[in-house]
Amino acid sequence: MTDLDIARTVTLQPIAEVAARAGISGDALVPYGRDKAKVDLGWLAGQPPRGRLILVTAVNPTPAGEGKTTTSIGLADALNRTGRRAVLALREPSMGPVFGAKGGATGGGRAQVAPMIDINLHFTGDFHAITAAHNLLAALVDNHIHWGNALGIDPRRVTWRRVLAVNDRTLRDVVIGLGGAANGTPRESGFDITVASEVMACLCLASDLADLQARLGRIVVGETHDRRPVTAADLGAVGAMTVVLKDAMNPNLVQTLEGASAFVHGGPFANIAHGCNSVVATRAALALGDYAVTEAGFGADLGAEKFFDIKCRASGLVPSAAVIVATVRALKMNGGVAKADLARGDVAAVERGAVNLQRHIDNVRGFGVPVVVAVNHFATDTDAELEAVRAAAAARGVEAIVCRHWAEGGAGATALADAVAALADQPSAFAPLYPDDLPLFAKIETVATRLYHAARVDASASVRAQLARWEAAGHGRLPVCMAKTQVSFSTDPALLGAPEGHVVTVREVRLAAGAGFVVAICGDLMTMPGLPRVPAANGIGLDAAGDVVGLS
């Protein structure tokens, strides 16, 4: 059975019942049909956080699959099965990977959030609202230039690009304003994917609507001819953008296949953005559960680092424990085994690839957060391979627990739930990687050398000068958001395992003053992904009965 087939075997509970069981007032619920709803932000603001925060992260992703979202869901279900009150807080899937390489992102097997089709596609329209608000600001920039340019914006220094919710490599670099004076001022621009939008980051890091509006106002869209920054507030864009985003700011409530409460809200990618669901959804989970289970995108070198250094720094959230998801298959790929050969047992390859897991363990523990490893079980795993993973984790003083939540739901992850609860119930020693007052380039170097084990960071004189200008303008205390390939600790996707001594090249830096961080784009990473040779979209459609098929 496919994930979609399995999801269809479960009769979902009415969302009002899920909300009531979680302690959400009926007056605070804004239903979107029978099985999904938004929860009023004003009501949530009156609910103080009481739970412990669990972060689920992973080894570097491989084509073999790791199952971070699946494990997050299985862990929450297991915590509830063992008599603990747990609530999920996850990111919304983007239609980019849904129609691109992944085909879906709502978990798998018996560990899924539902309604699976709705969540993977339009859901409650949050991504459409973010796309619209972002492009509204872009239109207002060009409209201001067209009607006299009272602010003196230099068209060559407009940095605010447009966004699209799906992958389209042909729009990475475009020329706009062609066709004569009536169509505006010609200039070079381009498109990023919506999940890379600073508007997405603003929404995900904002504590309420007032904070969102303030963040939107600080967005820098470009510079004047004399190099003064121009903001969204200068253009009078903030009110209209906030109106477009008003409903999107309320977090979305859904359920797991076992009926656990799940907030699915916001969706920045971790390789090109900060990779975490919204602060308001995480706080909602902390208010309604004894344990809040959340995840950060891709491997711990990206998602977990940004969760700790950006999201926790901005919000005051304190993680109590972390789960690092690994699979035998992923470690074998890190050990040099081709995807076609993964079904064959190879303990030596697991041992070679386990250096990737060990590096992530060391990095997460370096933030003062206790760790447990969840080994997401596949049918092809051998006992000897699983023992090799346990031994690799034990060498770092960490327990590795084999989990079967994909096949068994929460019942397959109860040992993980017990281990996580034991860690989370201890006092937290969490601290970010670097202090606020460290210079921006030094922050980049700290992440690259301490977490990626790079020998050095290279950047052009123009990149260094831009960072210095931002520091002089008062942005020096912002954290950095590293944008790089997700499959390696380096900027080279071919360097698997745990490479050392490599060079991280910062190609470009972007100021996200509204979100509250500086993006360092490293290596060849693109902020508008392309589709693979055979996109998942080719297999998605409707069957003869009008039902969706092809999502996974």
Is the pLDDT score of 1 beyond 90? no
Determine whether 443 is an active site residue.
Answer: no
Check residue 65 and give its pLDDT.
80
- Residues 261 and 298 reside in one and the same domain: yes
Domain that holds residue 189: 126-245
Question: What is the C-alpha to C-alpha distance for residues 62 and 338, in angstroms, rounded to an integer?
Answer: 11
Check residue 425 and give its pLDDT.
93
Check residue 103 and give its pLDDT.
81
- Residues 261 and 312 reside in one and the same domain: yes
Determine whether 50 is an active site residue.
Answer: no
Check residue 230 and give its pLDDT.
98
Q: What is the mean pLDDT of the chain?
A: 96
Does residue 154 lie within any of the structural domains?
yes
Answer whether 284's CB lies under 8 Å from 263's CB: yes
Angle at 443 between CA 156 and CA 474, to 5 degrees: 55
Determine whether 269 is an active site residue.
Answer: no
Is the pLDDT score of 552 beyond 90? no
Mean pLDDT (whole number) for 403-414: 98
Catalytic residue among 307, 367, 406, 489: 406
DSSP code, position 89: E
Catalytic residue among 21, 81, 85, 102: 102
Total number of domains constituting the chain: 3
Q: Read off the CATH number of the domain in which 234 is found.
A: 3.30.1510.10
Band (pLDDT 50/70/90 cuts) for residue 166 is very high
- Residues 313 and 418 reside in one and the same domain: yes
Within 10 angstroms of residue 452's Cβ, the number of other Cβ atoms is: 25
Question: Burial code of 306-315, b = ≥16 C-beta within 10 A, e = fewer?
Answer: bbbbbbbbbb
Tens digit of each residue's pLDDT (9 = 90 or more) over 389-398? 999 999 999 9
Is the pLDDT score of 108 beyond 90? yes
Residue among 535, 527, 531, 482 nearest 191 (CA) = 527
Determine whether 307 is an active site residue.
Answer: no
pTM of the complete model: 0.96
Enumerate residues 6+ apart whose C-beta is below 8 A from 336.
349, 352, 353, 496
3-state SS, residue 452: coil
Catalytic residue among 57, 62, 69, 70: 70
Catalytic residue among 191, 298, 308, 441: 298
Check residue 344 and give its pLDDT.
95
Dihedral sign, CA of 61, 63, 69, 70? negative
Catalytic residue among 37, 138, 270, 300: 270
Mean pLDDT (whole number) for 131-135: 98
- Residues 397 and 299 reside in one and the same domain: yes
- Residues 253 and 230 reside in one and the same domain: no
Tens digit of each residue's pLDDT (9 = 90 or more) over 43-102? 999 999 999 999 999 999 999 888 999 999 999 999 999 999 999 999 999 999 899 988
How far, in whole angstroms, is CA 227 from its chain's centroid?
33
- Residues 7 and 39 reside in one and the same domain: yes
Determine whether 68 is an active site residue.
Answer: yes
Beta strands in 143-282 (DSSP E): 153-158, 162-164, 174-176, 187-189, 191-193, 220-224, 229-231, 252-256, 261-264
Mean pLDDT (whole number) for 19-41: 96
- Residues 253 and 391 reside in one and the same domain: yes
Tens digit of each residue's pLDDT (9 = 90 or more) over 327-340? 999 999 999 999 99
Catalytic residue among 123, 160, 307, 378: 378
Band (pLDDT 50/70/90 cuts) for residue 466 is very high
The DSSP string of 325-345 is EE-HHHHHHHTT--GGGTTS-
Catalytic residue among 36, 38, 52, 91: 91
Determine whether 102 is an active site residue.
Answer: yes
Catalytic residue among 36, 38, 52, 68: 68
Domain stops at, among 424, 455, 474:
424
Check residue 64 and give its pLDDT.
85
Determine whether 489 is an active site residue.
Answer: no
Does residue 429 lie within any of the structural domains?
no
Tens digit of each residue's pLDDT (9 = 90 or more) over 497-541? 999 999 999 999 999 999 999 999 999 999 999 999 999 999 999
Six token digits for residue 305: 């680092």
Dihedral sign, CA of 472, 476, 481, 482? positive
3-state SS, residue 277: coil
- Residues 300 and 404 reside in one and the same domain: yes
Determine whether 484 is an active site residue.
Answer: no
Q: Read off the CATH number of the domain in which 105 is found.
A: 3.40.50.300
Check residue 414 and give its pLDDT.
98
Question: What is the C-alpha to C-alpha distance for residues 243 and 404, in angstroms, rounded to an integer?
Answer: 44
Tens digit of each residue's pLDDT (9 = 90 or more) over 312-365? 999 999 999 999 999 999 999 999 999 999 999 999 999 999 999 999 999 999
